[in-house]
Amino acid sequence: MSGSRIYMDWNATAPLSSEARAACLFALDLVGNPSSVHGEGRAVRTLIENARRDVADLCGAKAASVIFTSGATEAANLVLTPDFRMGRTPLKIAHLYASAIEHPAVREGGRFPREAVSEIPVTSTGVVDLPVLRDLLAGHDRALGLPMVAVMLVNNETGIIQPIAEIADIVRAHGGILVVDAVQAAGRIPLAIEELGADFLILSSHKIGGPKGAGALVARGEVMMPVPLIRGGGQEKGHRSGTENPIAIAGFAAAARKVGKDVTGRMAPITAARDRLEGAMLSAAAGVVIHGRDVSRVGNTTFFTLPGLKAETGQIAFDLEGVALSAGSACSSGKVGQSHVLVAMGYDPRQGALRISIGETTTPAEIERCAAAFAKIAARRRASGQAA
């Protein structure tokens, strides 16, 4: 057991749940095309429509407002566009205002030209600067088109929770559209699109224990929708063409059903385990910084800097100790670069930070082993004279 590896990178991808695996295997045996009208096709269509309801239930939406995609990146590129329709009437979005801590899938601006994208700063605590957001929207020229605001609910690196309901009030007061990346929030905090006030939510299957290759764009209604990104046979009510992937969608739905139940109760022991780990880290090394510790965070994430330990060095050191974790986001083709989240929060990004993210199958023994690995690495840094 001592030689086994510990997986503590759930924010990069959660382990496939047994329920999702079973659902995928069941769907593999369904032969029909979901667009076919014969019995085999109808069986697959039924599976997809049931899955749509399950994903909708995860975020308190209507099933008809769920558009299945290949993942969160595609969902972001679908919704982040200047071209919308209100029913059949074209609706112009003039400018995208995205927070400085967004995931690269959103920071790239989707289909907006670069000159039509502005950054919303965050405070040193990692929370969106609301007065600046108000000023940005107050200065927006509505004659050119509506403003769109993109703010993630939970940051993928720090785990910090953004005040989305308050942001929604500001956006609504200025006639804007609010897009919320809820990828890291789903299954970790209660999620209700109406209560959040979001116009669109972005979800990902593999972050909640489903298979990779599935995601969704969830709308609050069905009237105001983006012009399609992928055109063709008109699947997903014309919003996203291409034959649906029933295997991935079935797994996505099974994962959504599982993590949507008693979110608060299920997260309580995970949060307690994370807090024990952080306590051990703070005791083992002087000067360790846990980013976002003083604001609201999801209970599974620790984003920390150990003075004298560069992120890439630390990631390798933990890996050699049998602990899999990340140096920030794991969605940049394996590159370890400066964290734009740390930059946005005003920290010197050159040293970087490491992210530990856990889940419901993380055991107390694994928490202890991770804490021991941290203490060992910190002690080596002290002995080498590279850290205080």
The whole-number pLDDT of residue 349 equals: 77
Q: How many CB atoms lie within 10 A of CB 224?
A: 17
The whole-number pLDDT of residue 57 equals: 98
Q: Which of 184, 165, 174 is nearest to 147 (CA)?
A: 174
Residues with pLDDT less than 50, the chain = 1-2, 330, 332-333, 387-388
Instruction: Compute the distance between CA of residue 72 and CA of residue 56 in angstroms, rounded to an integer.
Output: 15
The whole-number pLDDT of residue 305 equals: 94
Instruction: Compute the distance between CA of residue 318 and CA of residue 237 in angstroms, rounded to an integer.
Output: 47
Burial letters 96-110, b for 16+ CB under 10 A, else e? bbbbbbbbebbbbbb
Q: Which of 199, 185, 132, 177 is nearest to 155 (CA)?
A: 185
Q: Parallel, antiparallel, or unpaired for β 200-204 and 215-219?
A: antiparallel
The whole-number pLDDT of residue 342 equals: 93
The whole-number pLDDT of residue 337 equals: 63
What's the CA angle centered on 252, arms 247 and 256, to 5 degrees?
150
Three-state SS string across the chain, please? Answer: CCCCCEECECCCCCCCCHHHHHHHHHHHCCCCCCCCCCHHHHHHHHHHHHHHHHHHHHCCCCHHHEEEECCHHHHHHHHCCCEEEECCEEEEEEEEEEECCCCHHHHCCCCCCHHHEEEECECCCCCECHHHHHHHHHCCCHHHCEEEEECCCECCCCCEECCHHHHHHHHHHCCCEEEEECCCCCCCCCCCHHHHCCCEEEEECCCCCCCCCCEEEEECCCCEEECCCCCCCCCHHHCCCCCCCHHHHHHHHHHHHHHCCCHHHHHHHHHHHHHHHHHHHHHHCCCCEECCCCCCECCCEEEEECCCCCHHHHHHHHHHCCEECECCCCCCCCCCCCCHHHHHCCCCCCCCCEEEECCCCCCHHHHHHHHHHHHHHHHHHHHCCCCC
* 331 assigned to active site: yes
Q: Give first-to-last CA distance, the chain, whole Å.
A: 33
Please give the distance of CA 327 from its chain centroid, rounded to a whole number. 16
Instruction: Compute the distance between CA of residue 286 and CA of residue 388 in angstroms, rounded to an integer.
Output: 7
The whole-number pLDDT of residue 384 equals: 78
Handedness of CA 324, 325, 330, 334 (dihedral sign): negative
Please give the distance of CA 189 from its chain centroid, rounded to a whole number. 12
Six token digits for residue 287: 């000067």
Structural domains of the chain, ranges and CATH numbers in brackets: 6-15+262-383 (3.90.1150.10), 20-259 (3.40.640.10)
Handedness of CA 53, 58, 64, 66 (dihedral sign): negative
The whole-number pLDDT of residue 264 equals: 96
